[in-house]
Each structure stands twice: as C-alpha cells, then as structure tokens.
Structure 1
C-alpha cells in the first residue's frame, strides 16, 4: 500500500484543506471573475447570500480558451425558475464577452439547503472545501471540518448507479457528430475519475482535484482498472467525441464502478426532493 504519511490536500490535523483562493486566480482571468461578480450582484441584489468560485480558475490551473468559469450562488431563499433563467443569462453573457473561458457553469441553491443535515457531507462539504468565497458571508463558517472518510465518499459520489440511465439517454439523444459528443466525453470522463478517486479516498487518506493524480491514487488499489481510469483522466482534459468511448463508460466502466462503490461504501442517502440527479460538483 502507498505511504499515507504526507498525503496532499490535508492540513496538519488530517482535515481536508480548503483549495483555491482569489490570490491564485491568474491575471488573465481576473477581468472574467470581476465581470461575473458584478453581474451576480446586479441579478440578485439583496436576495444574494453569497457567491463562490470553484474549479481550475481559483486553483490557478486554468488554461486560456480551454477552461470554463465555475460558480456557485447561494440565495437567502430557495431559487425560483426565474432565478435559474437569470443564471443562464448571466453565464451566456460572460461567456460571450470573454474569449479566455470556454463556457460558464453555475450551481444555484438556497442557503438552507446548503447548510442542511441532508447535504452536510455533499453540498456542505463542497462549499467548505472546494469553493472560494467571492461575495457575501462564507457559509464554511457554519459547517464542520471534513476528513476523507467513507461517509464523505458515500455522500459525494455514491449515486453513480442513478446517473447511468440518464447518461444513456443523453448519449442516444445527442446529434451524431464528433462536436456534439465531445462535451459528453469530457463530463462523463471527469465524473468517472472523481468517482474512482473517492472510492479509494478513505484508504489513500488525502485529497486532490487533479484528474491525473486521482487516477494514480485509484491505480494503487485497482491495478486491473488503472489503464481505463488513466485514459478517462486524459479525456477529461482532452476529450474526443468518440461514440465507442461513451458506450464503454455506460456499458463497462460505469456499471463496474457503481457496483464496487456500493459494495465498499454503500449508496448515497436519498434527498427529500430527489428527482433526476443534479449536476454533481465533486
């Protein structure tokens, strides 16, 4: 087994350290972040509780013209459909204005849901550990510290089996073009690699958001599947719109990973308002 004495991503007490900061945002992306901040304030005003960056831009690893801008917005009350329309319009406007980014992805929730007991080890952990405060009161002050244990693994990515039927529908409904399939390969590759990593996270005892590092951690414990996850990590950064790749995800790697995850950690607890799976941030 790998040496766990100096795992990345943990503080001196063994808690997952918060990743990212505004100081790490590369200069080329600072105008993008400033514009997004202003548009969030304009769109939500006093109804806004807080807003956050996450992903490669606050980690300082974003690539010009290749990376997207990832935002999480917390409202003082549960969002309405008009709020979701506003988020879509905000993202489209920022994406159109700045060539530095390749799209804007925004998660939108009410403050109470983010602080709820049901989301303590999923969205709560996400805010506390993976999000960089941009506006308003930081909700991390109301959340616990987190260790890389089995409960966290189960509640973050223990719902892959629920995702797979929807993935098949998206694949079947996508236009038969390389361009249309490429975003699906990117999204599913990243989701599978992150799921593979959190499967082994409690044994590996560390945290990383780098897909390649995630695949290498997984490989220590599942060498027979290592090549698949390493390839998926590469496709998460450099996607190709290959239909065979998508089929392999929903017919082979995905079902195996969902079954092994349930065996090791169990399945994610259902949410009171559970419908189709949300866009998982982890």
Structure 2
C-alpha cells in the first residue's frame, strides 16, 4: 500500500508536480494563467511563477478543483500587487468553468529563500510547487528529507490555527484540509515519505493513531466535499483538533516565531 513515498533513491523528496501531468481539460487554463501573470506583473515585478495543488499533480476534478498559483516577486508585495493578484484570479476563474476558484499567493524572493522559511515556504516551493515562469528558486534551496524539523516548521503552528477556528474563522473545507495535513506531518518522519492525497494522509496518520482513524477519515472526506457538513467544524474544534494540537507540540515542538 505504501510503496510510493515520494522519495528518490537517496531518501530526498521528489517534486510532486509537473507540467507534463496537467490534464488536457486544464491545459488551456494553465496557458491563460501564464499569459495573465506576464501581462499583469512583467519582468520588473515578477521573478518567477509556480503552480501547486491538484492541477500540476494531475489529479484535478473538472468543475470542482481550484487552480493554485504562487508568484515570487523581486520586492515585498504591496497592496497594489495584491489587488492585481485578486483581479487576475477573478478573471481567470470567470473565464474558465473547468475550475472552481483561482488562488494566488504572493511572496518576495528574499522571504522564500530566507533562513526562517527554509523548512516551511522554502520546502513548499522546492517540493510542492511546479515551475511555470522564470528561474526556479528551488535551485537555491537544499534537498529535503522527512524530519521532525520539517514537521515542526510546516505545521507546528496548528494550535494557533485552532484558536482562530474556535473564534469562527476559516471555512469548513479549509479547516479540515489543514487538520488532515497536520495529522499526516505529525507522523511523516515515522512513516518516512510524503503524499498530498488527503484520504491517504488520513489513512497513514490513522495507522499510527487507530483510535483517531475514523475521525481523520471523516475530516478528510469533508475537506474534499464541495458542500461539507458543518458538523465537521465541531469535530475539529471540539474533539480531534485539541488532541492533535497537544500531540503535535509534544512530539515536534512549536514552530519558530516569525517576524
């Protein structure tokens, strides 16, 4: 069941996406996104652009999946940069019914390559993002292995998320997605690999914590449901989440503070 752990022969993560994996239904959207980014930002602002998520993994579902983009700018993003990103995302979403939403993350190259982000945003770009435009920043980042340090720096802030969710923030799907990802990274160093498949992530985490397996599967299904049941929020905030926050801190510690 777990032969494919997303690692090369030396035990480093293999980049999970590729433009070659984009399904034909989404090829026109990817081309349109590339053109829109170039038109909007140009070489003065844009260093490079990346896809991440189900589209470059080749697992997107027409009409249900979204398109996720990360743009690396030469300088820290401004309010104008973010407004341009929102307009670009809205135009792409309106023109392409094959996706249910377009999201754009903006960062500057200095942040993406910084020491504090080496095992968070840097890992995310190097391992989970697919180059779309410009020079690939992954060339300036290390190769990564499953480790407790990586687990801590990627999801060691889960307790802070839980506080916000209890205050009413977050969508049900978003809350469930982060919870399943965090449950998986909790056990990632022990399992020794990576997967972005939410159901598989829940199954792997549940194999280490069988008393939580059914809850994890329920939350994973809610994360994939276009209209999830609101009860999934309560399951996370009142039962599964408090346990996960405490266990994560006990096993991996707390994520290093950011400025």
Q: Give the alignment's TM-score, normalised by structure 1.
A: 0.89
**1:105 counterpart residue number:** 103
Q: How far does the alpha carbon of each residue in 1:237-270 deviate from its partner, in whole angstroms, 9 at most, with x for none? A: 1254433221221122111111100000001000
Tell me the distance in 2 between the aligned counterparts of 1:7 and 1:66. Answer: 26
Contact 1:9 1:206 in 2 (8 A): yes
**1:128 counterpart residue number:** 126
Q: How far does the alpha carbon of each residue in 1:121-154 deviate from its partner, in whole angstroms, 9 at most, with x for none? A: 0000000000000000000000000000000000
Quote the offset at 1:168 in angstroms.
Answer: 2.5
Tell me the distance in 2 between the aligned counterparts of 1:75 and 1:170. Answer: 32
In structure 2, runs of 5+ residues without a counterpart are: none
113-122 vs 6-15, greater mean Cα deviation: 6-15
114-123 vs 238-247, greater mean Cα deviation: 238-247
Tell me the distance in 2 between the aligned counterparts of 1:68 and 1:243. Answer: 21
Q: Give the alignment's TM-score, normalised by structure 2.
A: 0.96
1:197 paired with 2:184, answer: yes
Quote the offset at 1:43 in angstroms.
Answer: 1.2
242-251 vs 110-119, greater mean Cα deviation: 242-251
Structure 1 counterpart SS, 2:171 = helix
Coordinate RMSD, CA, aligned:
1.4
Number of residue pairs matched by the alignment? 258
- Which residue, 81, 84, 88 being the options, matches 1:83? 81
Q: How far does the alpha carbon of each residue in 1:192-226 deviate from its partner, in whole angstroms, 9 at most, with x for none? A: 00000000000000111101110111012100001
- Which residue, 41, 60, 63 being the options, matches 1:62? 60
In structure 1, runs of 5+ residues without a counterpart are: 172-182, 273-282
Tell me the distance in 2 between the aligned counterparts of 1:170 and 1:49. Answer: 36
